[in-house]
Amino acid sequence: MTPARDIQGNPPAAVQRSVSHSWGQRNLSTSPTATFNSPPSSWGGALAQRGAPKQLQPFNTQDIKILLLENVNQTGQDTLRAQGYQVESLKTSLPEDQLIERIRHVHVIGIRSKTRLTERVLREAKNLLVVGCFCIGTNQVDLDYAARHGIAVFNSPFANSRSVAELVIAEIIVLARQLGDRSSEMHRGTWNKVSAKCWEIRGKTLGIVGYGHIGSQLSVLAEAMGMNVIYYDVVTLMALGTSRQVPTLENLLEEADFVTLHVPDLPETRNMISTAQLDRMKNGSYLINASRGSVVDIAALIKAMRLGKVAGAALDVYPHEPAANGDYFNNNLNHWGEDLRSLNNVILTPHIGGSTEEAQRAIGVEGEHSCCSSPPASGHSLTLFAVAEALVRYINQGITVGSVNMPEAQLRSLTLDEPDHARVIYIHRNVPGVLRKVNEILGDHNVDKQISDSRGDVAYLMADISNVRYSEIKDISDSLDGLSSCIMTRILY
């Protein structure tokens, strides 16, 4: 049987002891709600009767070029190479000019937090189909520009939540006991056994700003250690355990002994903790930021700590971060760098909240054991589709579930019993009359199934058509490309 091809391709032709890991299939870090599964779908029996899935691919897999930057986890690389893609992996990010030169020739790019895919960069990405952000955040990508040009973007919003939550718990204890200062003193040969202003965390109040995947996991861990948990979020969310939502950020700041931030980088969150908010905090309270570097006015924090208002702080993210490891965290990068490093009881870490072996593996292949042909329940997004698997499904089947900038659409897999079928993917501007014109072009073929959804100005249509010959696919593609609404056409067969 002729393997699936794309219209752009050619026509058919020793025992060692080691630290144990917690990354078993049933033990990947996910949202705390991920263990609450829906009842088995009644689809199961029907799908079991269907033929074996037919692997659709956009063109010869040897021709798919993928560039992975910033040392993407090896398991994620292996998932992509297993498809036969050409995968190049670099350990660092690239300067913008080099990035522009390299991105012109690839169909897929995988990045982490330091690579910035701006409009200037994406404008040169003439072959780019999809971006994989092997991290939680996507603010390093111009999502609107990517969507308007048919480039899907995927991330992994759940995979490192446990790692970040555990780091915050550790920092709460280290700050409360001044362990960082005592350790530094001992390294210098100074014995300084004190108990003044060192506290147990039991009975203290933790205020969580942002009760999402990380904040809610942190809530459970903190409560298990005897802390009282309050949280603030812009939407009303169900509390876990005995935690309690407060109506305003000011309420949280006035009540919490420890304040920890878990919010995205948005215009409304930039400098959300500045002089006025620090003044609202309890005297001798603590601040932790493991979210985004733009969230805290660090100059204001330095002043509050020097005045004794804030007793300690832990920062894992900064407004400007080095592009590579080295001696770069200084005043040339951030003007307050030396002042911050001079403070007592301040924990400074180099954006390592999600830097564990378990988290990086999960970011690459979270849910790889869930690659059945039946679709996941709506809303699970990348609980089942993490980045590498999401890239494969998008390239090979056009499935957008979990995309952060495209409408979510999926169709069940074609099977080997459907050899003369093709999948049409039409990304278009969301204007009236498109569906009628597309169906006129597809009218000479039976449309077995079709789905269309929109997100803002961009719409995404998928249709499986039958009784289609290879010689007809190019005509269909050219006709769709000729429509004034067209952003991108892909035909998989």
Query: CA–CA distance from 438 to each of 7, 261, 381 (Å)?
Result: 18, 47, 28
Q: Residue 256, CB half-sphere, CA atoms under 13 Å: how many?
A: 32
User: Which pair of structure tokens corresponds to residue 143?
Assistant: 């999502």
Catalytic one among 292, 361, 445, 490? 292
Residue 153 DSSP label: E
The answer for residues whose C-beta is within 8 angstroms of residue 26's C-beta and 6 or more apart is: none
Q: How far apart are the first and last CA of the chain?
A: 12
Helix (H, G, I), strand (E, B) or coil at 296: strand
What's the residue count for the chain? 493
Amino acid at 358: E
CA 131 – CA 150 distance, rounded (Å): 11
Q: Residue 330, CB half-sphere, CA atoms under 13 Å: how many?
A: 5
CA 23 – CA 243 distance, rounded (Å): 28
Task: Tell me if residue 321 is catalytic.
Answer: yes
The answer for residues whose C-beta is within 8 angstroms of residue 369's C-beta and 6 or more apart is: 25
Catalytic one among 223, 254, 255, 321? 321
User: Which pair of structure tokens corresponds to residue 319?
Assistant: 């407004």
Evaluate whether 421 touches 381 at the Cβ level (below 8 Å).
no
Sign of CA dihedral 284, 246, 222, 380: negative
The answer for residues whose C-beta is within 8 angstroms of residue 124's C-beta and 6 or more apart is: 100, 103, 104
Catalytic one among 102, 148, 149, 351? 351
Helix (H, G, I), strand (E, B) or coil at 277: helix
Helix (H, G, I), strand (E, B) or coil at 482: coil
CA 493 – CA 470 distance, rounded (Å): 9
CA 134 – CA 154 distance, rounded (Å): 8
Task: Tell me if residue 292 is catalytic.
Answer: yes
Query: Strands 446-455, 310-315: parallel, antiparallel or unpaired by DSSP?
Result: unpaired
Helix (H, G, I), strand (E, B) or coil at 409: coil
Helix (H, G, I), strand (E, B) or coil at 379: coil
Amino acid at 50: R
Active site residues: 292, 321, 351
